[in-house]
Amino acid sequence: MKNKIAQLTEIIFSSNNIVFFGGAGVSTESNIPDFRSANGVFNIDLNRHFTPEQLISHTMYKKYPKEFYSFYKEHLIYKDAKPNYAHKFLVELEKKEKLKAIITQNIDTLHELAGSNNVIKLHGSVDSNSCVECKEFYNLDEFLSLLGDVPKCTRCGGIVKPNVTLYEEALYDDVFERAIHYIRNADTLIVGGTSLIVYPAASLIRYFRGNNLVLINNTKTAYDHLATLVINDKLGEVFKKIKI
């Protein structure tokens, strides 16, 4: 492991255009569960005929909005979560003008709370919600203050929908293109806390043309054979060993 930490340290110091691409493992150290692990969202015992994956789909939102919003508020929003060491390390990399962008699959706001500026959120954000009728915007606190099982707009009475990408919904084209731009122009791509099995987000790695592809994850990924460096460990624990 020491040799890998030394190699990662050298890669970071020799790079001037780093992009970080992160998944659920970035936030698990802030006590936000991932989706697919043993204790993840998809393994919650609901005692009902809907699976967690079904409950965060566009079909569920349209046909069973009460159940959708109940599950969304209970299992996808973590207001008390705080940035962990990984979030703070990335802020320092940005301050040193080495890190140019963070691309995240997460919908929490921990990168922003830590102080990162250029955060590209592939799947949207819990802090962004809009009325489907009049497009009135609601931040997270405003959204949670709306009364009723299905949140309604105080301006027109329309349903207020989280601006997050549900299952069966496509990613925003402009956001995806922006992510491609940064990855294509990076000299180093650090991928952390993601198993790279959720598409189309995982396909972004194919646009990288730089020198160093670093994969940091608890488990192996299907892209390990393409990497300059693979470290199987928690992201925060790895970053704690890097002196910048």
Separation between Cα atoms, residue 100 and residue 27, nearest integer Å: 20
Is 123 annotated in the active site?
yes
Separation between Cα atoms, residue 180 and residue 205, nearest integer Å: 9
The DSSP-derived string for 2-35 is HHHHHHHHHHHHH-SSEEEEE-GGGTGGGT---S
Asked whether 150 and 69 are in contact (CB, 8 A), the reply is yes
Choose the catalytic residue: 49, 58, 75, 123: 123
User: Do β-strands 137-138 and 124-131 pair in parallel, antiparallel, or remain unpaired?
Assistant: antiparallel
Neighbouring-strand partners of residue 161: 130
* Phi, psi torsion values for 103, nearest 5 degrees: -110, 120
Count of beta carbons in the 10 Å neighbourhood of residue 137: 12
For residue 200, whether the previous peptide bond is cis, meaning omega lies within 30 degrees of 0, is: yes
Residues with catalytic function: 123
